Amino acid sequence: MNHFLKSTRFKVILFILALLVGIMIYAVSVGGYTLSAVSLFRTITAPFQRLSNSMSERVEHSLNVYRDAEIHYEQNKALKQEVAELQKQLADYEETRRHLEELQEFVGIKEEYKDLVLSAPCEVVSYVTNDPFGAFMIGQGSADGIELYDPVVTDLGLVGVITEVGDHTSKVTTILSPEVSVAVYCSTTPDHGVVTGSVSLAMEGLCRLQYLEKDSRIRKDKVILTSGENGLFPKGYVVGYVRDVQVDESGLNTMASIEPAAEISDLSMVIVIKDFEGKGVDRDE
Amino acid sequence: MNKRFTSRHHAAMQVVQWIVFALLAFLFYVLMTSGSHVQPLLLIPLAMCISVHFGEIPSAAVGVVSGLLMDIACGKLLGYNAIWMVVCCVATSLLHSYYLRDKFFNTLLLTAVCTAVQGYMDFMLYYAIWGHENVTLVYTHIMLPSGIMTLVCTIPVWLIVRWICRVCGSQRSFELEKTIVTSQ
């Protein structure tokens, strides 16, 4: 063993370790930008990962059918009940639809979303291995005009934010992560708060709405929308639905569990909002 | 003449062997990044099983490659896993040079130590240090199952690597053969 410690081989290994420390320090210094060598590697491996990921999704889907058979049975029963209720409401459907269209025009949601500059649909290339918050890689990067901290959405709702940009791939950190905070408001009550992730809720695919007033009127199934206050997210985009409301540990505020509108653990395509009105403008300032 | 042919043949088989190892590492990297469920860290047993059969420098190289692939797959700081993998692979190679025999239990034990320390460092530096509440859930729900899966996967990986080394002739077995021939 002493012979090894005095040998050239030992010096070579020490050199390799020093080199790795250097790489690590350099990787820290470039911030949220992927090293070009890593970016190139990810670009090369992306087709294989897409193929493997799609196969994995199919296998997971097939296994879930068997695993969740009982849950599906219960859901089926509940859905049948729901269908019966919906059939009762069918008579009022046309009137409701007309009313909804009038409301949409009135509120101007369509107009509001016109200011969003959206990317082309981005394929989810792969999920980050063993990330408890469901971070994933998408197949577009700085070459496609994507920038650090751009919001990522689906047609259902907000998914997360870009936290690492390469030339042709980017990493998305989801709203289940404690690293992401979104200023939000409730669509029907005057409540404002911040949606962020927590470890325990992330395990159930939920996130947390915190800093609500103690006498908050927020209730289950209320829709939570982005308020756009910090200039990071566009205003009025759906984040999720309230699942549970409780007083926080301090007893001074109310908090709620939020089920993201987008199904974060089962994404295949997302869209990046490249620009929107008020981007980078902190409305509190 | 016969000796020269044997050396050339051995060199050619060594090239084939490293190509197969590189393809295996690439395959394991792709598998690790497929799907959103908890995954075994397949590159750890692969690197450890390869290091058993080779000297310190090739083992260090295996550690660098597998560690960097793990960093990219797990979205960690580049070089973070690579440093630990170099240490583990060189230690595995040295232990097998001086103290241990090429037995499955030894490899499993070393893989378990490597996985446990890697998981603990990951947990401490990426989650616990930030003071998130209920952070132990990350350990019990993700890292522990992943570690157990990694250990279970060590069995097929060990068999595959051993088979490749037997077919292609590992560096150690070749050196041993040469020593025997020279002494005769």
For the domain that residue B113 is a member of, what is the CATH number?
1.10.1760
Say if CB B133 and CB A201 are below 8 A apart.
no
pLDDT for A284 beyond 70: no
Q: What percent of chain A has pLDDT over 90?
A: 10
pLDDT of residue B40: 93
pLDDT of residue B42: 94
Would residue B30 count as lying in a domain? no
Neighbouring-strand partners of residue A159? none
Best A130, A171, A200, A206 residue to mutate vs chain B (most B CBs within 10 Å): A130
Q: What is the pLDDT of residues B103-121, one digit of tens each?
A: 899 999 999 999 999 999 9
Pairwise CA distance, residues A133 & A174, whole Å: 7
pLDDT, mean of residues A85-91: 71
pLDDT for A79 beyond 80: yes
Q: Nearest chain A Cα to B87, which residue?
A: A17
- Range 121-160 of B in CB contact (< 8 A) with A: 127, 130, 132-135, 137-138, 141-143, 146
- Overall number of domains in chain A: 1
CATH number at residue A219: 2.40.10.350
Q: What is the pLDDT of residues A172-204, one digit of tens each?
A: 999 999 889 889 988 788 888 899 988 888 888
Q: Do B141 and A132 touch (CB under 8 A)?
A: yes
Number of alpha carbons in the 13 Å side-chain half-sphere of residue B15:
5
Q: Do B72 and A60 touch (CB under 8 A)?
A: no
Q: What percent of chain A has pLDDT over 70?
A: 88
Question: Which residues in chain B are contacts of A135 at CB distance < 8 A?
Answer: 75
Q: Which of A9, A24, A130 sits opposite B146 (nearest CB)?
A: A130
Model confidence band, residue A106 (pLDDT cutoffs 50, 70, 90): very low
- Overall number of domains in chain B: 1
Model confidence band, residue A109 (pLDDT cutoffs 50, 70, 90): very low
- In terms of Cβ atoms closer than 10 Å to its own Cβ (0-12, 13-18, 19+), residue B26 is middle
| B35: contact with A, CB 8 A cutoff | yes
pLDDT for A99 beyond 80: no
Q: Nearest chain B Cα to A249, which residue?
A: B133
Would residue B47 count as lying in a domain? yes
Rg, C-alpha atoms of chain A? 23
Would residue B5 count as lying in a domain? no
Would residue A137 count as lying in a domain? yes
Model confidence band, residue A254 (pLDDT cutoffs 50, 70, 90): confident
- Assigned token pair, B21: 């190892």
Question: Which residues in chain A are contacts of B40 at CB distance < 8 A?
Answer: none
pLDDT for B2 beyond 70: no
Pairwise CA distance, residues B63 & B51, whole Å: 8
Query: Between vectors from CA B134 to CA B128 and to CA B137, what angle results, nearest 5°?
Result: 85
pLDDT, mean of residues A245-251: 80
Say if CB A199 and CB B140 are below 8 A apart.
no
Question: Is pTM, for the whole model, over 0.95?
Answer: no
| B20: contact with A, CB 8 A cutoff | no
DSSP state of B77: P
pLDDT for A108 beyond 70: no
| B30: contact with A, CB 8 A cutoff | yes
- Assigned token pair, B149: 């899966």
Would residue B138 count as lying in a domain? yes
H helices then E strands: how many in chain B?
8, 0
Least confident of A271-275, B153-157, B166-170: B166-170
- Assigned token pair, A231: 């200039």
Q: Do A131 and B75 touch (CB under 8 A)?
A: yes
Would residue A142 count as lying in a domain? yes
Query: Domain range spanning residue A38?
Result: 34-67+108-285
pLDDT of residue B1: 44
| Minimal CA separation from A103 to chain B, in Å | 39
Would residue A185 count as lying in a domain? yes
| φ, ψ of residue A184 in degrees (nearest 5) | -135, 170
3-state secondary structure A120-186: CCEEEEEECCCCCCCCEEECCCHHHCCCCCCEEECCCCEEEEEEEECCCCEEEEECCCCCCEEEEEE
ipTM above 0.85, yes or no: no
Would residue B6 count as lying in a domain? no
Would residue A76 count as lying in a domain? no
Summary mean pLDDT of chain A: 82
Q: Which of A9, A130, A200 sits opposite B39 (nearest CB)?
A: A130
Q: Nearest chain B Cα to A42, which residue?
A: B72
Q: What is the pLDDT of residues A24-34, one digit of tens each?
A: 888 888 766 67
Would residue A237 count as lying in a domain? yes
Say if CB B86 and CB B80 are below 8 A apart.
no
pLDDT, mean of residues B162-166: 90
Q: Nearest chain B Cα to A129, which residue?
A: B74
Distance of CA A249 to the CA centre of its chain: 26
Rg, C-alpha atoms of chain B? 18
Question: Which residues in chain B are contacts of A128 at CB distance < 8 A?
Answer: 33, 73-75
Model confidence band, residue A110 (pLDDT cutoffs 50, 70, 90): very low
Pairwise CA distance, residues B134 & A208, whole Å: 14
Q: Nearest chain A Cα to B145, which residue?
A: A130
Would residue B180 count as lying in a domain? no
pLDDT of residue B92: 94
Best B69, B78, B153 residue to mutate vs chain A (most A CBs within 10 Å): B78
Query: Domain range spanning residue B100?
Result: 39-175
Model confidence band, residue A162 (pLDDT cutoffs 50, 70, 90): very high
Would residue A217 count as lying in a domain? yes
